[in-house]
Amino acid sequence: MNIVVLDGYTLNSGDLHWNELQTLGNCTIYDRTLPDEIVDHAKNAEILLTNKTVLAQNILEQLPQLKYIGVLATGYNVVDVVTAKKLGIIVTNVPAYSTMSVAQLVFALLFELTHHIGHHSDEVKKGRWSTCNDFSFWDFPLVELSGKKFGIIGYGNIGKAVARIAVALGMDVHVSTRSQQNQSDDHISFVHSETVFKTCDVVSLHCALTDETKFLINARTLSLMKQSAFLINTGRGPLVDEQALAKALNSGMIAGAGLDVLSTEPPLIHNPLLTAKNCIITPHIAWATLAARTRLMNTVVENVRCFINNKPINIVS
């Protein structure tokens, strides 16, 4: 089997290895593939692996040898799965490999918003503590999370992991999900999304990106939130209307935002959130711990192995 990896660098920048994949066939690995290079790089592929390189209809129709596409991620919107199905190409993804890593970053962002850890560390290193008249100083209100309401939009694997951590911190968790409305659990209440926006001190997004959820965070929903509330988005960038969020942050409508995803990645230099007040942005790293990427690599290899053995798993199309 001819195996081609179109954009392997993000998964493996050198701290992992492709050895197991290479035992499964004639393997060619590209760190990156530009749009006008896709057909040339993939022309002999029977098995094609992609992370963020888009495989649209016009591309797939130029790859007659292609039998299988493995997406090196959970989301598979980079592949035209309708066309793939018509052409008899199996498409697989890698579910649930990054659950705990993403949940961890949710709280890393939240802790930075509540304690401004980076700022205070920088001030100490500048010598400010050494010359302080008092034994302690702080430049922002410091927020204790225990007893506050943590709102979760979407309750898949990551949403559930986030809920468990919030409960452990002593928070009252309110969840909005289409599948479990009007239920309750220890420390967890299932409520309508508007209740989350109106009552919660933290709102964290963990729902899928659909036509229905695009711009879920907009001028109206932001206006429902408490002035002291924080927004966390480690899900998908287009869940947020970025202009509306920037305006809400700059006007003090909400207290802050922690974002690991944006609508365009890498972001355009004029994205209003890059200069918005009280907005922390990380470069889509929630999924990227070594542990998570190791699980991702192992599942990618297993997906390919199972396909070769005519027992495909994790099929999305």
**Which backbone phi and psi does 174 adopt, to 5 degrees?**
-115, 125
Residue 32: active-site member: no
Annotated catalytic residue: which of 174, 206, 284, 293?
Answer: 284
d(Cα 119, Cα 304) in Å, to the nearest integer?
46
Annotated catalytic residue: which of 37, 61, 194, 265?
Answer: 265
Residue 119: active-site member: no
Residue 265: active-site member: yes
Annotated catalytic residue: which of 236, 242, 293, 295?
Answer: 236
Instruction: List, by residue number, the catalytic residues.
Output: 236, 265, 284
